[in-house]
Chain A
Amino acid sequence: MSGENPASTTEYIQHHLQNLVYGKLPAGFERHTESGLEVLGADTWTMAHGASEAAAMGFWAIHVDSMAWSIGLGVLFCWVFRRAAVRATTGVPSGMLNFIEMIVEFIDGSVKDSFHGRNKMVAPLALTIFVWIFLMNLMDLLPVDLVPKLMGLAGVGYQKIVPSTDPNITMGMALGVFILMIYYNIKIKGTGFIKELTMHPFNHWAFIPINLFMELVGLLAKPFSLGLRLFGNMYAGEMIFILIAMMFAAGAGSGLVFGGLNAQLFGTETNGAFWLVIFVLVCGVCWMNLKGKISTGRTVLLTLGLLTIGGGVFALGGGLMQWGWAIFHILVITLQAFIFMVLTIVYLSMAHEEDH
C-alpha cells in the first residue's frame, strides 16, 4: 500500500492504470535507463518502462497483461465447459455439471427469446461472450493491490488484471461482433443490405446521401456503444476500488499507535512485516475462537484492539467499503456481461431479419 503523500498518490493511481506493455520503440527515442539517457539507434521491440515509453510505442504495442489474463480466463472458460461437455450424460447431472447446464440453459433461453433466425453460431457465441466477459470482470473483485504487489515482488513492474478495463479488449470483442454483423447482413440480405443503408428511412433516391449518413452512423454506433459501455463501466468500477484503497491506505499507513512508531523506528519499508505480524495475530485470535478457547465477544474486542494498535481501523473501514463496493460490483459485472451478450444477440438477430 503506497500513497503516504499526494505526489505518490497520483503515482499510485497512474501505476494502477498502466498496462504492462511490450512494443516497438521508434528509432531516435530517448530512453531513461539506470546508466543515464540512451538514444535508440534503431526500432526496438522491448518491454516499456513506464507510461511515457508505452505512449511512444503508439500502435505497435501489445498489452501483455490484458492479453495474458484475457487468454488465461478464456482458456479457463474453455477448460471448465469442455470438461462439463465431456462429462455430460443423459443421466442425473450433479455438482459442477448442474451449474454449467444452468448457465447453458440460461444462455439458450436468452438466445431463443431474441434470436429467431437459423444460425448455429449465435448460441455458442453468446455463451462465450457471457462467461468470458463475466470472468474478466470478476478479476475486478480481487483486491486491487494484491496481484500488482505480488507481480511487483516477482519483478514485473505493471499489472492490470482486469482485461475489461482495457478498451483494446472490449473494442476487440465489439469489433468481432461487428464483423459478424456485417458478414451476416451481406450473407442473408445480399443487396438488401445496401438498400437498407440507402433507402431508409426516406425511400427516395434523392435522399440517398442523407439515408446513407444516418444509417452508417447508426451501424457504426453499435460496436462502439457495445465496447465502450463495457469498458466505461469496468474502468469506473476499478477506479473506485483504487480510490477507496488509496484513501484508507493513507490512514492505515500512518497508523494510530504503532503505525507512527513503526515508521519512526524502522522507516516505512517495514510496514509490510508489521502488517504481517498483526495479520497473524488476528488470525490466531480467530482460530482460538473457532477452537472455542475464547468467546466471540472477546474475539471481536481483541481483533478490534489489534487492528487499532496496527492502525488498522482505517484499513478496516477501507476493507468494509471495498467489500461493500465489491458486493455492489458483483451486480455490475454480471449485468455488463449480460448486456454485452444480449446486445450481441439482438444485433445479429437484426442482421438476420429481412425487414425492420
Chain B
Amino acid sequence: MNINLTLFGQMVTFAIFVWFCMKFVWPVIIGAMEERQQKIADGLDAADRAMRDLEAAKSEATDQMKEAKQEAAGIVDQANKRANQIVDEAKVLAVAEGDRLKVAAEAEIEQEINRAKEELRSKVAGLAIAGAEKILEASIDDKANRALVDKLATQL
C-alpha cells in the first residue's frame, strides 16, 4: 500500500471522465431513448386509435348494409305489390273491355239480325207481290194490293 500522487491523478481523471459523460454521453443517449419511447407510445396509441376507428367503420358499414338491404327488400316488396296491382287492374279492365266488346257485339248482332229481318221482310214482300203478280197477271192494281201485302209482310 504505497499511496502517492497517483491518488490525485486518478481523482482528476475521474472528475474529467464524469464531466465528459455528464456533458456529452448521458443526456444524448437518454434523450434519444426517451424520445424513442415517446415515439413508440405514440405509435401504439395511433395503432389503437386506428383499430378503434376501423372497428367503428366496420360496424357502420354493416349497419348501412343492413339498412340498404332492408330498403331494397322494401322496394322489391312494393314493386311486387304494385305489379300485382297493375296486373289486377289490367285484368279488371280487360274483363270490363271484354264485357263491353261482348255487349257491343251482341248489340251489333241484334242490329244485324233486325236489319236482316227487315230486309228479308221487304224482300219477302217483293217476292210475294211478284208471285202474286205472276198468279194474277196484269189485272190487279199494284197500288191497291200493295197495302195488303205490306200488312201481310209485317205479320211475318
* Residues of A that sit less than 8 Å from B by CB: 23, 54-55, 57-63, 66-67, 70-71, 74, 77-78, 81-82, 84-86, 88-91, 93, 100-101, 104-105, 108, 120-121, 123-125, 127-128, 132, 166-169, 171-173, 175-176, 179
**Nearest 8 pairs between A and B by C-beta?**
A172-B10, A168-B6, A88-B32, A85-B28, A124-B26, A124-B22, A124-B21, A63-B6
For A176, list chain B residues within 8 Å (CB): 10-11, 14-15, 18
Are B1 and A127 interface neighbours, CB within 8 A? no
For A86, list chain B residues within 8 Å (CB): 28
CB distance from A235 to the nearest CB of B (A): 10
Are A85 and B10 interface neighbours, CB within 8 A? no
Q: How far is it, in angstroms, between the C-alpha of A167 and the C-alpha of B1 when the chains are bound?
A: 7
Chain B interfacial residues counted at CB < 8 A: 32
Determine whether B29 belongs to the interface, using a CB cutoff of 8 Å to chain A: yes
Are A104 and B9 interface neighbours, CB within 8 A? no
Q: How far is it, in angstroms, between the C-alpha of A71 and the C-alpha of B20 when the chains are bound?
A: 13
Given A23-B4, A168-B9, A169-B10, output 19 extra A-B contacts at Cβ < 8 Å. A60-B5, A62-B9, A67-B9, A70-B10, A81-B29, A88-B28, A88-B29, A88-B32, A89-B32, A93-B36, A104-B29, A108-B30, A121-B22, A123-B30, A124-B22, A127-B21, A127-B25, A128-B14, A176-B11
Given contacts A67-B10, A167-B3, A168-B3, contact A124 B25 (CB under 8 A): yes
Determine whether B138 belongs to the interface, using a CB cutoff of 8 Å to chain A: no
CB distance from B21 to the nearest CB of A (A): 4
CB distance from B108 to the nearest CB of A (A): 100
CB distance from B94 to the nearest CB of A (A): 81
For B123, list chain A residues within 8 Å (CB): none
For B6, list chain A residues within 8 Å (CB): 61-63, 66-67, 166, 168-169, 172
For B4, list chain A residues within 8 Å (CB): 23, 57-63, 168
Are A120 and B22 interface neighbours, CB within 8 A? yes
Are A124 and B32 interface neighbours, CB within 8 A? no
Are B3 and A59 interface neighbours, CB within 8 A? yes
Q: How far is it, in angstroms, between the C-alpha of A77 and the C-alpha of B13 when the chains are bound?
A: 13
For B27, list chain A residues within 8 Å (CB): 120
Q: How far is it, in angstroms, between the C-alpha of A123 and the C-alpha of B26 when the chains are bound?
A: 8
In chain B, residues 124-155, which have Cβ atoms closer than 8 Å to a Cβ of chain A? none
Q: How far is it, in angstroms, between the C-alpha of A100 and the C-alpha of B33 when the chains are bound?
A: 11
For B25, list chain A residues within 8 Å (CB): 78, 81-82, 84-85, 124, 127
Closest Cβ neighbor of A163 among chain B residues: B10
For A169, list chain B residues within 8 Å (CB): 6, 10
Closest Cβ neighbor of B35 among chain A residues: A90
Closest Cβ neighbor of B34 among chain A residues: A90
Given contacts A90-B35, A90-B36, contact A171 B3 (CB under 8 A): yes
- Please indicate which of the listed interface residues A58, A62, A168, A175 has the most CB atoms of chain B within 10 Å of its own CB: A168
CB distance from A30 to the nearest CB of B (A): 20
Closest Cβ neighbor of A177 among chain B residues: B14
Question: Which of these, B10, B13, B21, B39, contacts A81 with CB under 8 Å?
Answer: B21
